[in-house]
């Protein structure tokens, strides 16, 4: 089975960025309507192509609408731009990187899926469970439903409590690198040396040779 969340080929990325009228000199604000998963994935994609000037709208569309800020249903017109991108591999983790991280104390795997998926009780691939030694911190714990899905105020404390600090390299993933878009974004905001395993569990869990654990500490 294909890993559905993997980064598309460079030519496809360039076509998408061209279609939205991308300019390397622009400042890009990313948001979504679900708490930051898709916006974080886009922030990661911007890091992949080396775009530095960007922001995340905390709380996204829900927080914006709750503050009674202006909304429209008009789709802005864009002009095709000529785009040539370069890939920055420093924020990308491959399956081989995750395999190499096992028993490596300088690398931590952050599994952003639900506890049920982490334990193997809920399965969306050929096999369930988690990468050996991976830390489970559900992406939903990063957002505050009482504050229109804005990021929680004690992010650094939460991550440190789970062993996620600036001391190690962190590789984050979920099922398709959608939910781990938010965990990647949070890691970047807190200054972690973080990268995303874009194959995520849709690759790892469908590979019969990858090591898997179901024990929950």
Radius of gyration over alpha carbons of the chain, in Å?
18
Helix axes 179-189, 37-48, angle to 10 degrees: 60
Q: Which of 135, 170, 174, 192 is catalytic?
A: 174
3-state secondary structure (DSSP) of residue 155: helix
- 93 is annotated as an active-site residue: no
Q: How far apart are CA 68 and CA 4, in angstroms?
A: 36
Residues recorded for the chain = 217
DSSP per-residue string spanning 64-125: HHHTT-----PPPP-----------GGGEE-HHHHHHHTT-TTEEEEE-S-HHHHHTSS-SS
Query: Which are the catalytic amino acids?
Result: 174
């Amino acid at each position: 089975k294909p890993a559905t969340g993997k980064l598309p080929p460079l030519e496809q990325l360039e076509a998408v960025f061209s279609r939205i009228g991308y300019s390397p000199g622009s400042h890009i604000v990313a948001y979504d309507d679900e708490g930051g998963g898709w916006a974080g994935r886009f922030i990661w994609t911007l890091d992949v192509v080396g775009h530095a000037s960007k922001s995340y709208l905390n709380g996204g569309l829900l927080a914006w609408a709750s503050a009674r800020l202006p909304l429209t249903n008009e789709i802005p017109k864009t002009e095709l731009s000529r785009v040539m991108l370069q890939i920055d591999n420093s924020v990308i983790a491959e399956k081989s990187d995750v395999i190499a991280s096992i028993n490596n104390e300088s690398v931590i795997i952050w599994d952003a899926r639900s506890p049920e998926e982490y334990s193997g009780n809920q399965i969306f691939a050929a096999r369930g469970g988690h990468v050996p030694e991976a830390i489970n911190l559900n992406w939903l714990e990063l957002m505050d439903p009482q504050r229109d899905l804005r990021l929680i105020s004690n992010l650094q404390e939460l991550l440190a409590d789970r062993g996620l600090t600036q001391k190690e390299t962190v590789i984050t993933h979920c099922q398709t690198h959608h939910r781990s878009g938010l965990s990647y974004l949070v890691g970047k905001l807190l200054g972690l040396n973080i990268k995303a395993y874009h194959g995520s569990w849709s690759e790892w869990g469908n590979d019969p040779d990858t090591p898997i654990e179901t024990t929950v500490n």
